[in-house]
Structure 1
Amino acid sequence: MKNKDKLSGVFAPAVTPFDGDVIRYDWLESNIRKMNNAGVKGYLALGSNGEFMSLSEAEQLKVVEVFVNNKENQTIMVGASRESVIETVRFIDEVAKLDVDYVSVLPPHYFAKNVTDDIMIKYFLEVAEQSSLPVLVYNAPGFASNVNIKADVLRRIAEHPNIVGIKDSSPSGIVSFLNATRNINDFSVLAGSADFFYTALMYGATGGIVSLANYLPKLSVQLYQTFLEGDIKSGVDLHFKIFDINQKVSGKFGVAGVKEAMNITGFNGGEPRSPLQRLTREQAEILNKCFQEKVLI
């Protein structure tokens, strides 16, 4: 199966549910099974919504095992970002012992002022050359000290056979990424936000890794289906409905908002790990009212 086939559709950048600071693996199992039934194509484990930076490595690997043990035929991506090539590759080697399909890798960003285009290219090419799993580049300046991957950088690294796609969560980069890689065989561009998922599909994206799929997976899949069916009017109407709710959930409240939205819609979002805090009662009520007004629950 081509990478583009495995990377087409709706993917949930899954949360790690906490009860206090304790990971509730049973809640995660329940969420995965519900999303399996909703028709999602796969999952990104240990992404930003998964709060990977707040987990020990032992916890990270156990979370991945939960996805592997509860998937049906879904594609499994795993966030494997570390600041050095050697540590990124070492963690990829650990992940590769499990039954996963891809790793997702952010650019190095702790020394943001020193991350030139050449350093970024060197990092990704060295990781790709040594990685035992296919690599998805992850462009998320908001989570990476404003380090932003340029279209020309992507064009150069996308020619490596072990770099097979990119998830773009930046506000304005996806069209340039699609243009830069349109002639590269079996390379996938995936939208990293429901804000531009539908428009990205129209420009040639293969799918979306969208936080909306954590709490409204059926609606996310429905949007993708309208695109496949060529029902542009229904797709645009649904896009704006989704855009509005996405702005109120992750756009305003981040991962805490996504988790509260999951709690509202019958999933087990739990709460973030300290020092992040769950929404206040007043904030949660704002979200609840929004879902009721949109007739989403």
Structure 2
Amino acid sequence: MAAHTNGVNGAAHARALTPGIYAPIPTFFKPETEDLDLDAFAGHVVRLAKANVRPLVAGSMGEAVHLTHAERASLISTARRALDAAGLPDVPVIAGTGTGSTRETVELCHEAAAAGADFVIVIASGYFAGALSRDALRAYFVEVAEKSPLPVIIYNFPGASGGIDLDSDLITELAEQCPNLCGVKLTCGNVGKLTRICATVSEKSFAASHPRKNPKAPFLVLGGFADFIVPSTFVNGHGAIIGLANVAPHACAKLFELSVASVADPSRLPEAQRLQGVVARGDFTIAKTSIAGTKDLVERLYGYGGLPRKPLPPISAKAAQALWDHPHVRELVAVERELSGKVAQ
């Protein structure tokens, strides 16, 4: 795919999709009105990018289902402007565009491109999950990939799509068939599935036999949880898109760095395994509290975060304190502060 025109600054700029850690950025709301808090959002995007964590806007963690089209576009353009202003013009922006119908999903892909996104990530709608056969799901992703002006990442998240769980054969077949697909995020947590997909798409022969429409957007296999970054790297996975990176960006980025280093130098593996344990325990504990818990931790750590948009309930004060006091969280926070150069508190 040729360089697209950035909808914010009007400059043609093809940014690369590369292995690493990506964070689905929470959407922050003003407490009294539930309007977008774009200042907090912009600051958080830059904070993470400086820790080598790239942003995904309007995803599940970003409460995309609670956002209007205009709000999605505003978040994308805000992220792009913030990154450019911070001297980070090469950091790409991924935008969530999956919604109820194929037609609207394609529409959102075009709107994301106009707002300044570089890639989109698309989930299958779960509203009519029982009626969506394997052929219907294949047709959905094929049509979206063909009509999207931006490269498309498949988002496999059964918990948010009515239980739809794409298997490794279908994902691999889609990767082979659709040159505008540039990856998959596996929030099914299935390491075996990740291994099987990587066994095909991570081979050099795959890129030669099935070149991408955009040469800067190879097909990446990304985990959806932080607890198997080391194992996925050793089967030629490409990193992860993880909510935990909002809380501990330096720790998550360092874990991926150590994982890659360990493949070339096994003496680094014990260090990677130790950090993987810290991150995995923290991820397991924090994930139980979902978006509200993550936002509360971000508030405690960075001074912004706030509440989810209704009807999603906030975390209770008791549960929030218990999460903050949990030994797995305290251990993760200590490591994050150490890696970010702060004095542990």
CA distance in 2, matches of 1:138, 1:244: 24
Structure 2 SS opposite 1:10:
strand
Partner of 2:307: 271
Distance apart, 1:4 and its partner CA: 11
Match of 2:67 in 1: 55
Query: Which string of whole-angstrom CA distances, capped at 9 and with x for unpartnered residues, describes residues 248-273 of structure 1?
Result: 112x1111111112112225221111
- The 8 Å contact of residues 154 and 180 in structure 1, kept in 2 or not, is answered as no
Within-5 A mapping of 1:1-297: 6-20=17-31, 21-40=34-53, 42-71=54-83, 72=88, 73-159=90-176, 160-172=178-190, 173-183=193-203, 184-185=206-207, 186-230=218-262, 231-250=268-287, 252-266=288-302, 268-290=304-326, 291-294=329-332, 295-296=334-335
Preserved CA contact (<8 Å) 2:64 2:72: yes
- Residue 19 of structure 1 aligns to a residue in which SS? coil
Please give the per-residue CA displacement for 1:51-96, whole angstroms capped at 9, x wherever unaligned: 0001111111111111111121212110001222221111111111
RMSD, aligned α-carbons: 1.9
Mark the CA change 1:171 to 1:36 in structure 2 (over 3 Å): closer, same or farther.
closer
Q: Distance in 1 between matches of 2:116 and 2:300?
A: 32
Q: Is the 8 A contact 2:189 2:224 kept in 1?
A: no
Structure 1 Cα separation of the partners of residues 47 and 202 of structure 2: 35
TM-score normalized with structure 1 length: 0.93
| Deviation of the 1:171 alpha carbon | 2.3
Measured in 2, the distance between the counterparts of 1:19 and 1:167 equals 30
Query: Structure 1: which amino acid aligns with 2:278?
Result: K
* Alpha-carbon distance between aligned partners in 1 of 2:219 and 2:184, rounded to the nearest angstrom: 8
Between 118-127 and 98-107, report the one with greater CA deviation.
Answer: 98-107
Larger radius of gyration: 2
Superposed CA offset, 1:10-33 (max 9, x none): 111110012332221111111112
AA at the equivalent of 1:48 = S
Whether the aligned pair in 1 keeps the contact of 2:58 and 2:64 (CA below 8 Å) is yes
Letter in 2 for 1:261: L
Query: Deviation of residue 124 (structure 1)?
Result: 0.7
> Cα–Cα, structure 1 residues 269 and 177, in superposed 2: closer, same or farther, change >3 Å?
farther
The residue type equivalent to 1:223 in the other structure is L
* Cα distance in structure 1, aligned partners of 2:230 and 2:293: 22
In 1: Cα distance, 2:15 partner to 2:79 partner: 21
Residue type at the aligned position of 1:245: G
Q: Matches of 2:189 and 2:117 in 1, distance apart?
A: 29
Q: Which amino acid aligns with 1:266?
A: Y
Farther-moved stretch of structure 1 (183-192 vs 53-62): 183-192
Looking at both structures, which has the greater relative contact order when contacts are Cα pairs under 8 Å and sequence separation is at least 6?
Answer: 1
Q: 1:180 to 1:108 in 2, by over 3 A?
A: farther
Instruction: State the AA in 1 paired with 2:79.
Output: F
Could you tell me whether the CA contact under 8 Å between 1:4 and 1:206 is conserved in 2?
Answer: no
Paired with 2:65 and 2:322, the residues of 1 have a C-alpha distance of: 28
Aligned-pair identity (%): 27
Q: Which residue is equivalent to 2:212?
A: none
| Equivalent pair of 1:259/1:270 in contact (CA under 8 Å) | yes
Partner amino acid for 1:134? P
- Structure-2 change in CA distance of 1:227 and 1:293 (3 Å): closer
Q: Contact conserved, 1:17 with 1:23, CA < 8 A, in 2?
A: yes
**Residues in 1 aligned to 2:170 and 2:303: alpha-carbon distance in whole angstroms:** 39
Structure 1 unpaired stretches of 5+ = none
Amino acid in the other structure paired with 2:78: V
Structure 2: gaps spanning 5 or more residues: 2-13, 208-217, 263-267, 338-345
Q: Is the 8 A contact 2:26 2:61 kept in 1?
A: yes
Distance 1:54 1:122 in 2: 26
* Distance in 2 separating the partners of 1:5 and 1:179: 23
* Aligned-partner Cα distance in 1 for 2:146–2:119: 14
| Matches of 2:46 and 2:270, distance apart in 1 | 31
Quote how far apart the aligned CAs of 1:115 are.
0.9
Contact residue 25 and residue 56 of structure 2 kept, 8 A: yes
